[in-house]
Structure 1
Amino acid sequence: MKFRRQRLDEVSVNLTPLIDVVFLLLIFFMVSTTFTRETRLGVVLPEASGLPQAEMTDQVEVVISAAGEYRINGEQLVRADADTLRSALLALSREGTDRPLMITADADSSHQSVVRVMDVAGQLGFVNITITTQEPAAD
């Protein structure tokens, strides 16, 4: 008897569907991942290179703390909002808005606090506004 030999099918693995699935997973993870990276702007405060100005007795000094609290001529304001700041500066502006207004802010105070003082002072008519600087560190 003559038996026919069975043909052995060639065993192979088709990699095309596997590669398709891997690429689909890669695309899914790329799309679903959030790439938001919060950045912060580093602000370097200006340093003075000139001589300090002579002390003026007839000036308005506004000091801004790191927490955003205001002191006007050494007196702390009750609240740190624009209305309280406006009423305190309004009382001082009756003596004249030609007086120098000096703004001294802590390095950690917000930019909004400084701009608020400048805005309120400008609305009240102060034109001689000075922002204090720090002396450069000795290297």
Structure 2
Amino acid sequence: MAGRSLFGSSSPQGVSRPRSAGEADLDITPMIDVTFLLLIFFMVASTMQAQTELNVPAAKHGEGVPADACTEIIVLAPRSVSETPRILLGDLKGPEGTVDDVRRFVEEGLREGKTEVVVKADRDVPSGFVQRVLKAISEVEGVQFSIGVQDEQSKK
């Protein structure tokens, strides 16, 4: 019994099934071809659409705030990627300031009787920066802020 395996074969490789003459290896080439054809079909059949631009409706009942009755804050886009956006206190000729200066500027306007604050921000300013400016304004009690928009008639 020495040298014989469990199933009676003396082969060192163990039990092997004899191959019949008509048996062939499984050829998976047609399956790969069909897979690639399906892939190409779905790539061509599916539509690749970019997201459409968001078209926000114009305000129907909004009224403008008179320029002499409000405090104006302008946020300009940074000149380069490494800079932060610039804040102008007042109009375009006003002094530059920081987010902390915005609160002080709004408090000064409130002492002058200006309870409205209009924030005008360049479209390239990150929204998080505009939110920090709005938060500084909201810390002053007694004022309401609005975000300045371009009038639809002046766009045309």
Q: Does 1:118 align with 2:118?
A: no
State the 4+ residue runs in structure 1 displaced beyond 6 angstroms.
Answer: none
State the 1:10 CA deviation.
1.7
Distance 1:96 1:77 in 2: 19
The runs of 5 or more residues in structure 1 that have no matched partner are 1-8, 24-38, 79-83
Aligned to 1:87: 101
State the 1:91 CA deviation.
4.1
CA 1:61/1:93 → structure 2, altered by over 3 Å: closer, same or farther?
same
Aligned to 2:9: none
Code of the aligned partner of 2:70: Q
Distance 1:54 1:10 in 2: 94
Higher relative contact order (CA 8 A, sep 6+): 1
Aligned to 1:13: 24
Maintained 8 Å contact 2:71/2:109:
no
Q: Secondary structure at the match of 1:114?
A: helix
How big is each residue's C-alpha offset from its partner over 1:56-91, in whole Å with a ceiling of 9 and x where there is no partner? 31421111223332111032425xxxxx22234314
TM-score (norm 2): 0.50
**Among 63, 74, 97, the residue aligned to 1:63:** 74
Q: Secondary structure at the match of 1:109?
A: coil
CA 1:136/1:58 → structure 2, altered by over 3 Å: closer, same or farther?
closer
Distance 1:41 1:114 in 2: 24
Distance 1:135 1:95 in 2: 25
CA RMSD after TM alignment: 3.7
Maintained 8 Å contact 2:74/2:89:
yes
Distance 1:66 1:45 in 2: 22
Code of the aligned partner of 2:101: S
The runs of 5 or more residues in structure 2 that have no matched partner are 1-19, 33-49, 79-84
Q: Secondary structure at the match of 1:108?
A: coil
Maintained 8 Å contact 1:48/1:134:
no
Give the greater-gyration-radius structure (CA): 2
Distance 2:130 2:56 in 1: 13
Aligned to 1:27: none
Aligned to 1:77: 96
